Structure 1
Amino acid sequence: MLSTVECYNAWSNTYDSDGNILQLLDNDAFNEIVQPYLNDNYQNSTIPICCELGCGTGRNTIKILNAGWST
């Protein structure tokens, strides 16, 4: 049985790549849930702010910034 560290080290090779099925699911969830919220709540007169907790590699932060929000 692998230790926790060994498991994370093995997963890190594909964590932020197309080889990680969870990334695909995460992208789908972001596009279906978060992106519509960002679009619906963006007001051109102000720059909306989002508190991004930084619990990953920043993949979603980039999407939030590209939607015109500040983090």
Structure 2
Amino acid sequence: MMSTQNTKTIVSTVECYDAWSNTYDSDGNILQLLDNVAFEEIAQPLLNSINRDSTKQICCELGCGTGRNTTKILHTGWSIVSIKNK
């Protein structure tokens, strides 16, 4: 009987997210699809409904992660301040 040995490596949460961030937006993660739907159905209509007569709309995005939604918000015409705490 042949035995396979699994090697476990313990890394910090930050290291794990840093390693995953390179492929997070492109690896077919189902959460990306859910995030896209939520943005299109909730966030975008909300941003579009806020007073457009104002000369400047600024959004503060807390926990911006890889910046996927940051670029979506910019495309709606808003200025944005994104904060990521590492």
TM-score (norm 2): 0.64
Go from structure 1 to structure 2 and tell me whether the alpha carbon gap of 1:70 and 1:29 turns closer, same or farther (over 3 Å shift).
same
Q: Which protein has the bigger strand share? A: 2
Q: For structure 2, which runs of at least 5 residues remain unmatched after alignment?
A: 1-7, 81-86
Q: What fraction of aligned residue pairs are identical, expressed as a percent? A: 70
* Residue 22 of structure 1: aligned partner: 31
* Residue 60 of structure 1: aligned partner: 69
Structure 1 or 2, whichever has the larger Rg, is 2
1:35 aligns with 2:44: yes
Q: Which protein has the bigger helix share? A: 1
CA deviation vs aligned residue, 1:25-47 (integer Å, no higher than 9, x gap): 00001111100001111414412
Go from structure 1 to structure 2 and tell me whether the alpha carbon gap of 1:63 and 1:42 turns closer, same or farther (over 3 Å shift).
farther
Q: For structure 1, which runs of at least 5 residues remain unmatched after alignment?
A: none
TM-score (norm 1): 0.76
TM superposition shift of 1:14:
3.6
CA deviation vs aligned residue, 1:17-65 (integer Å, no higher than 9, x gap): 1511100000001111100001111414412000012431111011111
Aligned-residue Cα RMSD (Å) equals 2.4
